[in-house]
């Protein structure tokens, strides 16, 4: 179980957290492992963080750090942010290609190589240089048989990623997969009912309608929201989304009368004087 606390940067708040954790131990019978706990601050002097860590007997949290398997605090537009993902793929490959048949290599690429970056792809837009590295690893593994040197590709990778009915091998196109995963957030912004995350997005950016607003200052918009705006505009998701999604008025809370498109059923209008 993971507990996360936010408080003011003063010693009084830190002591309150320690008392709360002590009460939790007494009530639940569980013990908090302070050696595995971390404390960090935003805009707080390092000397204060050191004093707080000594009170809680824990280590200082460095940025970037991992939370639920995802790196937090780094810039995902830089290549070094994805180094761990690329290195994982390299380790999974190794020289196994020499001992595996073509069918086995295709199965490994589908089941392992395309799933390793799943968490990162579901939240961040992958840079083009990182995408080229991963595709190069996949291509070399498929055609190289684990050998060194230049590999001969007998078919273009775009055709390899086509479905079997379309003449390909059904290997996932990472770029399209990344766009689809990011597009899922756009869908959830409109379809999910309630939820703290949606309330935060609605209050800060205006929900999915805010994706159409291209006047945002980049310094005030998070990198994640900027990626969604790129998906909405450059990938032509905006028009597809508005054309394919409809909803009932209901209580009218989520409807903008003058901005949203309206579709009326067949009616008869009769005016008399």
Pick from 38, 41, 47, 222: nearest CA to 230: 222
Q: Which two tokens stand for residue 67?
A: 């939370």
Query: DSSP string covering 87-131, please?
Result: HHHHHHHTTGGGGS-HHHHHHHIIIIITTTTHHHHTTSPPPHHHH
Q: Which two tokens stand for residue 133?
A: 């590295």
Q: Which two tokens stand for residue 196?
A: 């703290």
Q: For residue 185, with 0-12 CB atoms within 10 Å meaning exposed, 13-18 middle and 19 or more buried, which class applies?
A: buried
Q: Cα–Cα distance between 160 and 256 in angstroms, integer?
A: 45
CB 30 within 8 A of CB 21: no
Q: Cα–Cα distance between 146 and 163 in angstroms, integer?
A: 25
- Cα angle 165, 167, 173 (rounded to 5 degrees) comes to 90
Q: Is the pTM of this model over 0.85?
A: no
Please write the tens of the pLDDT for every residue from 68-96: 667 776 778 888 888 888 888 888 776 66
Q: What is the pLDDT, as a whole number, of residue 259? A: 65
Helix (H) or strand (E) segment spanning residue 71: strand 70-72
Q: Cα–Cα distance between 128 and 180 in angstroms, integer?
A: 16
| Per-residue 3-state assignment (H helix, E strand, C coil) for 230-257 | HHHHHCCHHHHHHHHCCCCCCCCCCCCC
Please write the tens of the pLDDT for every residue from 17-32: 888 888 888 888 888 7
Consecutive sets of 10 residues in the chain, 273 residues long: mean pLDDT of each?
Answer: 74 85 84 79 79 83 70 77 85 69 81 75 88 86 66 78 83 86 82 76 76 62 81 68 64 63 57 53
Looking at the DSSP bridge assignments, the partners of residue 39 are: 60
**Dihedral sign, CA of 232, 236, 239, 243?**
negative
Helix (H) or strand (E) segment spanning residue 43: none
Q: What is the pLDDT, as a whole number, of residue 41? A: 76
């Amino acid at each position: 179980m993971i507990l996360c606390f936010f408080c003011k940067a003063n010693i009084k708040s830190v002591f309150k957290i320690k008392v709360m954790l002590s009460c939790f131990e007494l009530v639940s019978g569980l013990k908090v492992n302070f050696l595995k706990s971390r404390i960090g601050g935003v805009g707080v002097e390092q000397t204060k963080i050191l004093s707080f860590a000594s009170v809680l007997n824990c280590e200082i949290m460095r940025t970037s750090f991992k939370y639920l398997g995802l790196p937090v605090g780094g810039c995902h537009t830089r290549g070094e942010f994805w180094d761990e993902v690329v290195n994982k793929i390299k380790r999974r490959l190794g020289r196994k290609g020499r001992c595996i048949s073509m069918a086995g290599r295709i199965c490994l690429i589908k089941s392992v190589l395309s799933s390793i970056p799943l968490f990162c792809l579901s939240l961040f837009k992958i840079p083009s240089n990182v995408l080229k590295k991963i595709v190069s690893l996949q291509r070399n593994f498929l055609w190289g048989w684990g050998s060194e040197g230049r590999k001969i590709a007998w078919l273009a990778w775009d055709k390899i990623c086509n479905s079997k009915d379309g003449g390909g091998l059904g290997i996932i196109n990472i770029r399209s997969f990344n766009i689809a995963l990011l597009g899922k957030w756009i869908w959830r912004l409109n379809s999910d009912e309630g939820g703290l995350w949606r309330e935060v997005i609605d209050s800060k950016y205006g929900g999915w309608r805010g994706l159409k607003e291209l006047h945002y200052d980049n310094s005030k918009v998070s990198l994640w929201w900027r990626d969604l705006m790129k998906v909405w505009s450059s990938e032509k998701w905006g028009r597809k989304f508005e054309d394919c999604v409809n909803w009932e008025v209901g209580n009218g809370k989520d409807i903008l009368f003058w901005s949203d498109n309206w579709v009326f059923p067949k009616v008869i209008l009769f005016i008399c004087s």
